[in-house]
Structure 1
Amino acid sequence: MKVEIWSDYACPFCYLGKRRFEKALDLFKHKDEVEVIFRSFELDPSMSKEVQSSMQELLAAKYGMSLEEAKAANDRVAEQAEQEGLVYRFATMIPTNTFDAHRLTQYAKKQGKMAEISERLFKAYFTDSLHIGDTETLIFLAQGAGLNGEEVSDLLKSDDYGEQVRADERLAGELGIRAVPCFVLDGKYAVTGAQPTEVFLNTLEQVWADREPV
């Protein structure tokens, strides 16, 4: 079974959904026969690498709310994350463009390290308040995932793997994916949003049942 996950590293519900899916996968008795692929999706391709506004300020401006309302909204998301064992530090997060992070993920896929780098990028952004649009930060994270630092440095200086990112985004458009996270199972079933673990587990079991010959 193949599970494709469209997500963005700046999306709080993507990390939350990823963790809930992983918990469901751990409970799935056929988990060793599931291939997970992370697909690229940028929430805001026009975002600058260097953003002067805080996460609270960006949220308030986007939805026309006060800073207090934005903080309250983020606090509610952080509470959900905490229930799944995740730590979200919205006050110190560094908003940035995620295109290079997605290019790094595409490179990591070729090296068999896609899952490792995806987890490190999410944690870096939401928990560790690292600048994942910064080249040196990406090299540091890549090395921690077992990737070659020099190769990653050369990659980030080039345009390599940019087309793979764009191809994922085009495919999302063709499939009608407008929001993330979106989990596509065997190219036929889709689960959108950070659904409860039970929803992911039930869907995995349904897809598996449909695969089995009668």
Structure 2
Amino acid sequence: MKIDIWSDVACPFCFIGKRHLEAALEKFPHRDKVEVNWHSFELDPGAKEDYEEDQYELLAQKYGMSREQAVANSERVAASGEQAGIRFNFDTVQPTNTFNAHRLIQLARQQGKQDAVEETLFSAYFTQGRHIGKQATLEAVAAETGLDTKGLFGTDAMVAEVRADEAQAQQLGIRGVPFFVFDMKYAISGAQPVNVFEQTLQKVWEENNPAPAADGDMCADGVCEPAK
């Protein structure tokens, strides 16, 4: 089974969704036969590398709310994250452009380290308050995950791969993230509860691996009848 996930590392619900999928996979008896691929999706392609405003001010501007409302909304997200085992520190988040982080994730796919890099970037951004728009931070993340970044920085490497993911998202009609696609047949939009992921995993597995007819049964034209 293949699960394709469109995500942005500056999206808190993508982090929560990752945890929910992991919890479902932990209970799934065929998890060793599941392949997970992460795909690029920029929530704000026009974002700057550095901002004078903090996360709350930018949220207030984006959604036309007060700073107090932005703080309250963030606290609700943090509470949801806590239930999933994530400690969100929105006070220390450094808003930035995530394009180069996506390039790093694309490189990680080629080296079989994509999930580790995704996890480290999520934690760096939301928990540790690190500036993931800076090359130094991305190089540190690469070192922490054993990723070889030779030929990435200072070049246009992985740019085409990021753009290809974003083009595919557009073709699929993806408007927000996280967005999970199972074997290109079923989709889950958003950080849905763990049981939703469990049900989808089971459904896709059963469709791909139909149970054989019991011994003594006769099947024809899509109908099974007991042997006479």
C-alpha displacement at 1:11, in angstroms? 0.5
Q: Give, in whole Å, the separation in 2 of the partners of 1:19 and 1:40.
A: 18
- Aligned to 1:176, the other structure's residue is in SS state coil
Q: C-alpha offsets along residues 22-48 of structure 1, whole Å, 9 cap, x if unaligned? A: 110111110000000000000000001
State the partner residue of 1:123: 123
State the partner residue of 1:57: 57
- Aligned to 2:152, the other structure's residue is in SS state helix
Match among 204, 207, 215 for residue 207 of structure 1: 204
Q: Give, in whole Å, the separation in 2 of the partners of 1:159 and 1:133.
A: 16
Q: Give, in whole Å, the separation in 2 of the partners of 1:37 and 1:115.
A: 8
Q: C-alpha offsets along residues 100-131 of structure 1, whole Å, 9 cap, x if unaligned? A: 00000000111111111010000000000000
Amino acid at match of 1:200: F
State the partner residue of 1:94: 94
Q: How does 1:68-107 map to 2 (within 5 A)?
A: 68-107=68-107
- Aligned to 1:156, the other structure's residue is in SS state coil
Identity of aligned residues (%): 52
Q: How does 1:110-149 map to 2 (within 5 A)?
A: 110-148=110-148
C-alpha displacement at 1:81, in angstroms? 0.2
2:177 is the alignment partner of 1:166: no
Amino acid at match of 1:175: L
State the partner residue of 2:175: 178
CA-based RMSD: 0.8
Q: Which has the higher helix share?
A: 1
- Aligned to 1:173, the other structure's residue is in SS state helix
Q: Give, in whole Å, the separation in 1 of the partners of 2:16 and 2:93.
A: 16
Amino acid at match of 2:94: I
Q: Following TM superposition, where does structure 1 have runs of at least 4 consecutive aligned residues deviating by more than 2 angstroms?
A: none
C-alpha displacement at 1:51, in angstroms? 1.6
**Is there any run of 5+ residues in structure 1 with no aligned partner, and where?**
none
- Aligned to 1:208, the other structure's residue is in SS state helix
C-alpha displacement at 1:147, in angstroms? 1.3
**Is there any run of 5+ residues in structure 2 with no aligned partner, and where?**
212-228
Paired positions, count: 211
Amino acid at match of 1:210: E
Q: Give, in whole Å, the separation in 2 of the partners of 1:9 and 1:35.
A: 20
Superposition TM-score, scaled by structure 1 size:
0.97
Q: Give, in whole Å, the separation in 2 of the partners of 1:197 and 1:156.
A: 37
C-alpha displacement at 1:212, in angstroms? 1.4
C-alpha displacement at 1:82, in angstroms? 0.5
Q: Tell which structure's C-alpha radius of gyration is larger.
A: 2
State the partner residue of 1:195: 192
Q: Give, in whole Å, the separation in 2 of the partners of 1:29 and 1:52.
A: 48
Q: Give, in whole Å, the separation in 2 of the partners of 1:51 and 1:210.
A: 48
Amino acid at match of 1:24: A
Q: Give, in whole Å, the separation in 1 of the partners of 2:185 and 2:152.
A: 34
Q: Give, in whole Å, the separation in 2 of the partners of 1:66 and 1:208.
A: 46
